[in-house]
């Protein structure tokens, strides 16, 4: 699975296997490997975050948080569960969603304050706990999917990729990518409904 990304130092074509090796070296504390991983993935990650957040400054902040998390979690990376970019984009998606919700929450509080309303702290805490439990439940079920469905879903939803992009990254036809994503979503829906 080739990942064609432009780095700040020119053009580099990097395979998922090469990125996986860089992550394995990063897990041992190899700062040079992490720097290479960053150079090869950051232009794409920042582009995706800017698209999701629609704010370059926020995207840069979230990108820094994602790479700090990736550095800390490199030892947990399992190439059998997800490709390096899907793994990285899972962190990015979570961080971006948290940031969007945080910004929305701040805007909502400011509006409520402007109208003279006061939010009850207990309600906010309850909503946050409920949201995190829901996200944890979904993330857990995604990780229980078969490798093919899991990887396609991680790329599509956590990586914010289109069907053709997922197909390209996995080296499969577009209808196969669609089929894997739809089947995975159906399985997720069934499992989550059973938990409700």
Q: Pick the closest to residue 9 from 46, 36, 45, 48 (CA basis).
A: 36
Residues 189, 154 within the same domain: yes
Start-to-end C-alpha separation, the chain: 37
Owning domain of residue 30: 1-117
Residues 100 and 44 in one domain: yes
- CATH label of the domain that carries residue 16: 1.10.1740.10
pLDDT score recorded for residue 19? 94
Q: Are residues 146 and 93 in the same domain?
A: no
User: Looking at the predicted structure, is the pLDDT value of residue 79 above 90?
Assistant: no
Q: Tell whether 168 and 150 lie within a shared domain.
A: yes
Q: Record the pTM.
A: 0.52
Does the structure show a pLDDT above 50 at 102? yes
Do 45 and 132 belong to one domain? no
3-state SS, the chain, equals CEEEEEECCEEEEEEHHHHHHHHHHHHCCCHHHHHHHHHHHHHHHHHHHHHHHCCHHHHHHHHHHHHHHHHHHHHHCCCCCCCHHHHHHHHHHHHHHHHHHHHHHHHHHHHHHHCCCCCCHHHHHHHHHHHHHHHHHHHHHHHHCCHHHHHHHHHHHHCCCCHHHHHHHHCCCHHHHHHHHHHHHHHHHHHHHHHC
- What is residue 123's predicted lDDT score, i.e. its pLDDT? 54
Highest mean pLDDT among 45-54, 100-109, 137-146: 45-54
What CATH number corresponds to the domain at position 148? 1.10.10.10
Domain boundary among 71, 94, 117: 117
Last residue of a domain, one of 96, 117, 138: 117
What integer pLDDT is reported at residue 155 of this predicted model? 80
The region of weakest confidence among 91-100, 106-115, 141-150, 173-182 is: 106-115
Same domain assignment for residues 59 and 146? no
Percent of the chain surpassing pLDDT 70 = 73
Query: Do 33 and 96 sit in the same domain of this protein?
Result: yes
Q: Give me the pLDDT at residue 2, please.
A: 38
Does 61 score more than 60 pLDDT? yes
CA distance 26 to 189: 36
Q: What is the number of structural domains in the chain?
A: 2
Whole-angstrom distance, CA of residue 10 vs CA of residue 161: 24
User: Is the domain of 76 the same as that of 21?
Assistant: yes
Residues 110 and 133 in one domain: no
In degrees, rounded to 5, the angle at the alpha carbon of residue 143 between the alpha carbons of residues 82 and 124 is 115
pLDDT in tens, 141-178: 777 878 888 888 778 777 777 888 888 888 898 888 88
Of 94, 117, 140, the last residue of a domain is 117
Residues 111 and 125 in one domain: no
User: What distance in Å separates the CA atoms of residue 101 and residue 172, rounded to the nearest whole number?
Assistant: 34
Residues 79, 21, single domain; the answer is yes
Statement to judge: residues 51 and 105 lie in one domain: yes
């Amino acid at each position: 699975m080739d990942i064609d990304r432009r780095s700040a130092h020119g053009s580099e074509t990097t395979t998922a296997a090469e990125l996986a090796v860089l992550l394995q070296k990063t897990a041992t504390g190899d700062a040079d490997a992490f720097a290479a991983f960053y150079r090869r993935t950051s232009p794409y990650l920042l582009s995706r975050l800017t698209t999701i957040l629609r704010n370059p400054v926020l995207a840069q902040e979230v990108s820094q948080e994602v790479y700090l998390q990736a550095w800390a979690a490199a030892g947990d990376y399992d190439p059998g569960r997800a490709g390096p970019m899907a793994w990285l984009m899972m962190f990015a998606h979570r961080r971006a969603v948290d940031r969007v919700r945080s910004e929305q929450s701040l805007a909502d509080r400011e509006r409520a304050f402007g109208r003279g309303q006061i939010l009850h702290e207990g309600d906010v805490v309850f909503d946050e706990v409920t949201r995190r439990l829901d996200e944890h439940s979904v993330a857990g079920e995604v990780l229980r999917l078969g490798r093919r469905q899991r990887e396609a879903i991680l790329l599509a939803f956590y990586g914010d990729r289109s069907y053709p992009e997922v197909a390209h990254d996995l080296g499969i036809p577009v209808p196969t990518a669609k089929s894997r994503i739809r089947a995975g979503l159906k399985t997720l829906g069934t499992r989550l409904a059973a938990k409700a």
